[in-house]
Amino acid sequence: MWREIQGCNNWENLLDPLHPLLRREIIRYGEFVTACYKAFDLDPNSSRFLNCKYGKKRMLSEVGMPDSGYQVVKYIYASPADVIQNYYNPSPSSCSSRWIGFIAVSDDEATRRLGRRDIVVTFRGTVTSQEWVANLMSSLTPARLDPHDPRPEVKVEQGFLSLYTSEETSKFGVGSCREQVLSEIWRLLRKHKGEKMSLTMGGHSMGSALGVLVAYDVAELGLNRLGGREDEESVIPVAVFSFGGPRVGNLGFKKRCEELGVRVLRITNVNDPITKLPGVLFNNDNNNNNKIRVSNLGFSCYAHVGVELLLDFFSVQNPSCVHDLGSYINCLLNHSNNKINHSNSNEGFGIGFRNDQKILTDLVGKGREWMLSSHNTINVLPGVFAAAGNHHAVLGWVSGDLINSWGSKCINVGSKSNVLFFALRSYMSSVAN
């Protein structure tokens, strides 16, 4: 059964209704991602600022998961592209790598219970200003992760690829996120050779994109094919549990992931705008539904990878909950007897009435209010404030598809600006739908 839970049949007959074992596993992997947020040190006065608060041996215990049955074996750090590094860290000796996740492996007892040795690679979502800027670099670029077969038609979002492949430039650098992850996965695969194994990626938001890139990279390089054989016992299943994840690449990327057997379960909220990004206008879904004629763009269109498990939750008192990982997990926890709780209210979890125009107005208004009250220095594209007041003009200012250079112009972005970004992008998503 564990292979079905890992998506060997693309979760066929397990999603509607949601199988209780799959639901439990989704929540379990979601808790690993939550651990990334809990362990990330955001105290600027701390010696561990922007790193993990705890050592590997006690990390899971410190975040409330002492009985997880997994051992953390590797911390993962990521750096943005040089153009972003140079702006935020003008000193060549400064370190721009940030702790972004960890790799854990099931212990012997958990392995017996699960039926295989499970290697988990977990990434948090966007937190720092550099990461937000990287997220806005929404142009598609060839992945070229296999040096022997570059496959120029396989393209991914530039910002995500930058975080995954960029190296730390200082002498204290730990290598790129990619180098760290692949080397540790290869070490673990050799260590546990001969056992039944699974490779599971978990991530939220930007972390979901990184998880998909890792899964593709592992499969493209053939690291999960022991001895080069293609039988079920020799191919280690590679699965991604994506929470509120954006689109990662183009149609060529999607097709290649499918060819390689990469399984992605996208847990999404119908009200979450991040899951509609990037490619609000130019995406394969719009092309298939004839909403916007983009067929001539071919492989320039963004496309989601994998199978979707669609949730529906919203709160008027807390609009940002639509993208909050804790809200995703709570919705799944409240999912009892394989039935979504139907509600007649316009807030809460489950399927309920939604006044979309009111939601959009509230989001844009709240984002503009918090942006204007911020004490941080903001230097973004001219006209954003005016666009926030007239949200029919927003699309012209912030479409990542049309303004690929925005990532290099958004500087000094403070934490409160994230709210405006979220609000404006929410409106953009509604326009596309």
- 256-265 pLDDT, tens per residue? 999 999 999 9
Confidence of residue 301 (pLDDT cuts 50, 70, 90): confident
Do 42 and 49 meet the contact criterion of CB atoms below 8 Å apart?
yes
Q: Which residue has the higher pLDDT, 121 or 392?
A: 121
Residue 76 to residue 80: CA distance in whole angstroms: 14
Q: Is the pLDDT of residue 427 over 90?
A: no
- Amino acid 45: pLDDT: 95
Confidence of residue 320 (pLDDT cuts 50, 70, 90): confident
- DSSP-based three-state secondary structure for 175: coil
Confidence of residue 431 (pLDDT cuts 50, 70, 90): very low
Average pLDDT over residues 362-381: 44
- Amino acid 135: pLDDT: 64
Average pLDDT over residues 355-383: 44
CA 201 to chain centre: 10
Q: Which residue has the higher pLDDT, 161 or 89?
A: 161
- Amino acid 112: pLDDT: 97
Confidence of residue 325 (pLDDT cuts 50, 70, 90): very high
- Amino acid 284: pLDDT: 60
- What strands lie across the sheet with 263-269, from one edge to the other? 70-78, 98-106, 117-123, 197-204, 238-243, 263-269, 307-311
- Amino acid 392: pLDDT: 36
Q: Which residue has the higher pLDDT, 383 or 161?
A: 161
Residues assigned a catalytic role: 205, 272, 323
Confidence of residue 280 (pLDDT cuts 50, 70, 90): low
- The radius of gyration of the chain from alpha carbons, rounded to an integer in Å, stands at 21
- Amino acid 317: pLDDT: 86
Average pLDDT over residues 362-366: 49
- DSSP-based three-state secondary structure for 397: helix
Residue 230 to residue 193: CA distance in whole angstroms: 16
Confidence of residue 87 (pLDDT cuts 50, 70, 90): very low
Helices 158-165 and 206-221 cross at an angle (nearest 10°) of 70
Confidence of residue 139 (pLDDT cuts 50, 70, 90): confident
pLDDT over 90 percentage in the chain: 58
Please choose, from the candidates 237, 225, 256, the residue with its C-alpha nearest in 3D space to the C-alpha of residue 156: 256
Residue intervals in the chain for CATH 3.40.50.1820: 2-353
Cis amide bond preceding 278, omega within 30: yes
Average pLDDT over residues 370-382: 41
- Amino acid 407: pLDDT: 35
Model confidence over 230-248: pLDDT tens digits? 666 789 999 999 999 999 9
Confidence of residue 394 (pLDDT cuts 50, 70, 90): very low
Number of H helices, E strands in the chain: 17, 13
What are the DSSP calls for 282-320, one per residue? Answer: SBHHHHHHTSS--GGGGGGSEE--SEEEEE-EE-SS-GG
CATH code of domain 2-353: 3.40.50.1820
Model confidence over 111-123: pLDDT tens digits? 999 999 999 999 9
Calculate the average pLDDT of the chain. 77
Average pLDDT over residues 298-313: 87
Model confidence over 169-211: pLDDT tens digits? 554 467 999 999 999 999 999 999 999 999 999 999 999 999 9
Average pLDDT over residues 17-44: 97
Confidence of residue 160 (pLDDT cuts 50, 70, 90): very high
Please choose, from the candidates 20, 133, 123, 137, the residue with its C-alpha nearest in 3D space to the C-alpha of residue 76: 123
Token code pair at residue 66: 């002492």
Do 305 and 211 meet the contact criterion of CB atoms below 8 Å apart?
no
Residue 323 to residue 64: CA distance in whole angstroms: 22
- DSSP-based three-state secondary structure for 228: helix
- Amino acid 327: pLDDT: 96
pTM of the model: 0.77
Least confident of 6-10, 13-17, 413-417: 413-417
Q: Is the pLDDT of residue 25 over 60?
A: yes
- Amino acid 409: pLDDT: 33
Q: What are the φ and ψ backbone dihedral angles of 216, each rounded to 5 degrees? A: -65, -45
Q: Is the pLDDT of residue 372 over 70?
A: no
Please choose, from the candidates 133, 104, 92, the residue with its C-alpha nearest in 3D space to the C-alpha of residue 31: 104
Confidence of residue 134 (pLDDT cuts 50, 70, 90): low
Task: Please enumerate in sequence order all residues whose Cβ is within 8 A of that of 305, keeping only pairs 6 or more positions apart, or say none.
Answer: 212, 248, 249, 253, 254, 257, 258, 262, 264, 266
